A and B are shown apart, each in its own frame.
Chain A
C-alpha cells in the first residue's frame, strides 16, 4: 500500500499547528488514494541508547524519554494518523537540515513514501521540504491545498498538482486543508520507534537563536498606506487581516502618528522587504521587489500591476472589508 508521510514539528510538547494542517490534508489524500498515513516526528533524548550507538542501520528501539511525547502521539492519532513514527536522532533538534536531516532522511528512505507533506509554516518546512523533494526526485508543490471530495488532489497556486494517478513522488508544503472531525477520546495508533543512524552535520553550527523584532525576510506583512493610516475602519480591517495571516502591520510615519503601528513597524520606500507575502493597503510606496507574492488592496486602476499577484480595485475600506469577510468565511 502506498504511503503518505507527514513531517510533524513539535513546538514544546505539542505538534505545530501548521504541521497539523498538513496532517489533515494527508488524511484526506490517504483516504481518497487508499494509502497509509504516517505522521513522523524527529526527537532527541540525550540519555537514549541511540546517542552513543554507532550502528549504521535504522533499527527499532525503545521509547525515548521526551516530555509530552505521549500527548503528542495521542494528538496525532486524533488528527488522523494511521501510524506514528518516532525517529530518535543522535543530535539535538533544531529546524535545520544540518541538525535533523540525517534522521529525517532515514525516515524517508525507510518508508519510501509516494507523497511527503510539510506544514507550509512549520519551523522545519523551508529547510526539509525542498531537500526531501530533491532527494527522492519528486515534484515540489509550494503552498498547496487539498481539494476535491471523492478524488482528492493537491494543488498549488502556480498550477502544480498531485493526483492519485500520477507517476512518481511528490512533496508538498501545505497551506490549507479542509477541517477534520477530530476524535475526542484517546484512540489507539500504531507507534514505530526507530533509532536513526548518522550524526548531525557539523558544517553548520547553530550559535544563537533569538526572536526577530520584525522579520522583513520571511512570513507575511500588511503595509498600511499613508493615505489611509488615520482611518479607524481601515486600521481595524488591516489588523484583522494581519491577525488572520499571522502578519505584522507596518507603514510610514503617518501610521505611527495615528497609532496604527508602533515605531518598530516603520518602513519607507527604500526598506528592503523579502517576505513570502506582502499585502499593501491604500497608496503605498514600498519596495516589494524581494517579496514572493504581492496583493494590493485599494489600488487605483492606473496602478502598475506588473509582478503583482492580485489587485482589489476601488475604495480601500470596502475592498478590505469584503476581502476579510471572504477569508473569514473560508
Chain B
C-alpha cells in the first residue's frame, strides 16, 4: 500500500496516484468496515455514484474503507474498476455505529472531504452510521437516497421515506446515505492485494485504539431461524401498528 505522503506515481489506480492530501472539497465514499453481506452490486453502485463527482479522475472522489486486509483488497479493487481513488484503515477493531463514525469523521477530515456518501445497502447495519458521521462533523444528513446528481455546488437527490419520494437540494457539508445499485454481478475476479490504496493509520488520524475500544461491539452470530415460531418472532417487530393496517 502507499502511504499518506504526497503523490503515488507507482500506484496502479490512476486516481489514487493523483491523490494529494490538501484541504479542499473532496467527495468521500464510506464503504464500511466489512464486505457486502450478499453481493457487491450495491458497492459498485455507490462507487459509480461517487465517480460522477470526478469525471476526469483527478482523485477528487475517494472511496474509504476500514477493517481487515481482505476487505480492503476488495474495496480497493472495486474502486479501481470504477476509476475512483481509495484509502483504507486497516484495523482489527470491532466497533459499534459510533465507533466507526469516529474513524470516518477523522479520515474525511484528514482527506479534506466536505461531502461524504455512505453505501447504505451493502450491509444492514450501515445506514445508521450516516447520522453518526454527520453528528460528529456537524454536517447536514440525508438517508435513503436512491438517485443523486451533482450540479456544480449543488447536489440534487431523491430519497424514499415511508411511501413518499422526496426530491431535495443539498449544499455545503453533508453526509448522504445512498441505496443505488450497480449492474448485477454473479461472480467477480479475486481481488489483488491493494497496492493502489492509500493507507491511513489510526494514529495519524489522531485516534487512540484504546479509546475507540470503548465503543467496541463483538460481532453478533447470525444463524437463520428455521421454525415458524422463531420466524414469527422475527417478523412481529415489522407488523403494521393497529390503525395503520
Contact = CB atoms under 8 A, between A and B. Distances in A.
A207 B134 contact: no
Interface stretch (A38-46, A128-136, A251-259): A128-136
A126 interface: yes
Interface string A290-321: 11110100000000011111111100000100
Interface residues of A, number: 84
B153 to A, nearest CB: 11
For the complex, would chain B's binding face be called helix, strand, loop or mixed by DSSP majority? mixed
A206 B170 CA distance: 9
Nearest to A120: B237
Given A201-B140, A305-B224, A309-B225, A274 B179 contact: yes
Contacts of B168: 96, 204-207
Given A309-B224, A312-B231, A326-B232, A176 B181 contact: no
A127 B141 contact: yes
A247 B234 CA distance: 16
B161 A95 contact: yes
A134 B136 contact: yes
Contact of B135 (A18, A134, A279, A330): A134
B37 A289 contact: yes
A145 B241 CA distance: 13
A204 B142 contact: yes
A323 interface: yes
* Of B42, B101, B181, most A-chain CB atoms within 10 Å: B181
Contact of B237 (A98, A135, A143, A274): A143
B41 A206 contact: no
Contacts of B228: 312, 319, 322-323, 326
Contacts of A270: 184
B164 interface: yes
A177 B205 CA distance: 43
Interface string B148-176: 00000000000011111111111111100
A280 interface: no
A199 interface: no
